[in-house]
Amino acid sequence: MKNSASTNSKKRFSAQSIREFATRNAIILVLAALILVIGIVKTGFLAPENLINIMRISSVRLIIALGCAGALITGGTDLSAGRTVGLSAVIVASLVQRPDYAQRIFPNIATMPVILPILIAVAAGLLVGFINGMVIAYLKVPPFIATLGMMVMVWGAASLYVDRPPLGAQPIGGLRAEFTNIGTGSIGFGNFGIPTIILIALVVFAVYWVLLNKTQLGKNMYAIGGNINAAIVSGVNVKRNLVAVYTIAGALYGLAGVLLAARSGGATNNYGQSYELDAIAAAVIGGVSTSGGRGTVVGVLTGVLIFEVLNNGLVVIGVSTYWQQVIKGIIIIAAVAVDIRKYSAKR
Residue 321's pLDDT is what?
Answer: 84
* Predicted structure pTM score: 0.88
Q: What is the pLDDT of residues 18-54, one digit of tens each?
A: 777 666 666 566 667 767 777 777 777 778 788 888 8
Q: Is residue 2 part of a domain?
A: no
Q: Is residue 189 part of a domain?
A: yes
Q: Is residue 5 part of a domain?
A: no
Q: Is residue 4 part of a domain?
A: no
Contact 247, 133 (CB under 8 A): yes
Q: Is residue 327 part of a domain?
A: yes
Quote the domain boundaries for residue 287: 16-346
Q: Is residue 9 part of a domain?
A: no
Q: How far apart are CA 50 and CA 190, in angstroms?
A: 22
Residue 72's pLDDT is what?
Answer: 96
Q: Total structural domains in the chain?
A: 1
Q: What is the pLDDT of residues 286-326, one digit of tens each?
A: 889 888 998 989 889 888 988 888 888 888 878 888 888 88
Residue segments in the chain with a per-residue pLDDT below the cut of 70: 1-15, 21-31, 34, 167, 189-191, 339-347
CATH of the domain at 25: 1.10.3470
- C-alpha 276: how far from its chain's center? 7
Residue 112's pLDDT is what?
Answer: 92
Q: How far apart are CA 87 and CA 175, in angstroms?
A: 16
Q: Is residue 8 part of a domain?
A: no
Residue 192's pLDDT is what?
Answer: 74
Q: Is residue 298 part of a domain?
A: yes
Tell me the one-letter amino acid at 133.
G
Q: How far apart are CA 274 and CA 322, in angstroms?
A: 15
* DSSP-derived 3-state class of residue 7: helix
Residue 31's pLDDT is what?
Answer: 61
Categorise residue 109: left if φ over 0, alpha if ψ from -120 to 50, beta otherwise.
beta
